[in-house]
Amino acid sequence: YAYDDADQLTSTTAGATTTAYEYDAEGNQTKAGANTFTYDLAGQISAATVAGANYTYDHDASGNQVATLKDGAVTSRTQWDPNAPLPILATEYDSAWAIKQSYRYDPLGQPAATKTGTGAVFYYHHDTQGSPLDVTSSTGTLHQRWAYDPYGTRVLGTVTGGAPASTPSYTGARYETTTGNLDLHARQYNPATGRFNSTDPATRSTSTPYVSPYAYADNQPTLLTDPSGLTPEDPNSPGAILGDFGSGFLQGLKAPFQFLGDAYDAVTGQNGGVGAFVDKYLPVRPAYRLYRAEYMLRQQGCDALADLYAEAADELTQQLAVTGLGGLTGWRRAAVKPSVGVLAESGLSPIARLLYGARKGEGLPGTAGLAIERRPAVAELENLTIKHGVEFAVTYKLGSGPNGAGGQYYLYSGNAGSVRISPRADTVLIYHTHPRGIRSPSDADRALLESFEMAGSPMRSSKIVPIGWGGLVTTFTKDGISEWSRIR
């Protein structure tokens, strides 16, 4: 292996074969031997030439790869579920939208099972890093067995007849068959070299010891994983698990007899029952945390208590979906509303405050805009628009890092028919909503894109979220519609 002064891999030699690597000015790997790669403004691979075949890749507004094209023809499509700390692969389709495989996950975010288009179900069995090693059928028959070296190269691959066509790879990541890389959301990772294809867009603390911006998991792959492509983490850290519980739960660990007494009250319905127990031991809880707590309790053999958590999670999810915040009472309302003090210590993000804390039309960002900590999911924008009845828009002010990394997202609101945004050279319009469900861009939408281009912005396309189309997002340019993508 050879590297330059920027810690970029410049060549590898295996026997008599030497592979050279090249990079663009942003630090993205653009050439690996005869293979070439092109990147979009978000730093995602948008096109590649591999083994003489030409591929292009479409991404949704959140950067998830949703379609693969070979020589201009769609070969596969993917659909993602954003209702997790990181988007998770929900369904794979062929070019005609026929289901190839759908996936199910456990509360820890690991792929647990897959169902093929013919209805066959297979189950995954993981190692401590979250990598599926064995794949069994519903009858317990072993169909696949995998093993990986520390950096994710497969060193064993046993496949029998009837096995599913696709299996999550090292640490449960999606394997991109055309490039041989692992899709880790912010970046793609090449297990063969143990390096990412681009630099880390996340800013590291100046007190952190130097680690190459291309390194995977801080060069500690047996201890850490990097599911986001941004921040290495310990998949087995007790801190990550205990963080889902409140201080009352930690105190309960120190005073187990008190905890067991409260658990008995929850099971028997005494002294406030399950509501009082959940308030004390899990005070900060979207529904997925309740499900995760249920999973961990069941793993420890606490089935009766786990059943209570599952029931509470189901009830919270169903009531909120059917009645909205106004239909919740007691601990269920406290679970999502900060005014009762339950979430006050952790705070709500501006998006969550507009969704759950504000009344209709209250606290809207207007044309001044509101700085937000992340790009909203499409479902969040849909819910904001439905609740407040006006158009919303999200922009990104480019930062000084590679591909504009280190910038700032902003949220704007308008009226039922429009939202006003001032074009700037350092800003891109990511997407805006159409409350009336119109899928096509208006003349004003296209004119706005042209205004951004004239102002010097690198943006050449944007996305519309039409309400009522179940996640259908329209990509458009100043000339009209580019494509429709269905995402959740």
- The tens digit of pLDDT for each residue in 156-205 reads 999 998 999 999 999 999 999 999 999 999 999 999 999 999 999 887 77
**DSSP assignment letter at 325:** G
What b/e readout covers 267-283, taking b as 16+ CB neighbours within 10 angstroms?
eeeeebebeebbbbbbb
- The tens digit of pLDDT for each residue in 279-305 reads 555 443 445 455 556 666 666 666 766
Q: What is the per-residue pLDDT for 62?
A: 84
Distance CA 242, CA 238 (A): 6
Q: Phi-psi bin for 273: left (phi > 0), alpha (psi -120 to 50), beta? A: left
The percent of residues above 70 in pLDDT, for the chain, comes to 74
Tell me the residue ranges of DSSP E strands in 106-153.
Answer: 111-116, 121-126, 132-137, 142-148
Q: What is the per-residue pLDDT for 314?
A: 56
Q: What is the per-residue pLDDT for 312?
A: 60
- The tens digit of pLDDT for each residue in 377-416 reads 888 898 899 889 999 999 999 988 777 788 899 999 999 9
3-class DSSP assignment, residue 402: helix
Confidence of residue 269 (pLDDT cuts 50, 70, 90): low
Amino acid identity, position 135: V
Q: What is the per-residue pLDDT for 353?
A: 78
Mean pLDDT score, 451-455: 91
Q: What is the per-residue pLDDT for 39?
A: 96
Structure token digits, residue 138: 């519903």
Tell whether pTM > 0.75. no
Q: What is the per-residue pLDDT for 402?
A: 74
Could you tell me which residues come within 8 angstroms of residue 181 by beta carbon, excluding any fewer than 6 positions away? 45, 175, 188, 189, 190, 197
Q: What is the per-residue pLDDT for 238?
A: 45
Distance CA 445, CA 478 (A): 8
DSSP assignment of 217-232: GGG-TTT-B-TTSS--
Of the given ranges (207-221, 279-293, 334-348), which has the lowest mean pLDDT?
A: 334-348
Domain 360-486 sits in CATH 3.40.50: no
Q: Provide CATH 3.40.140 ranges for the chain.
A: 360-486
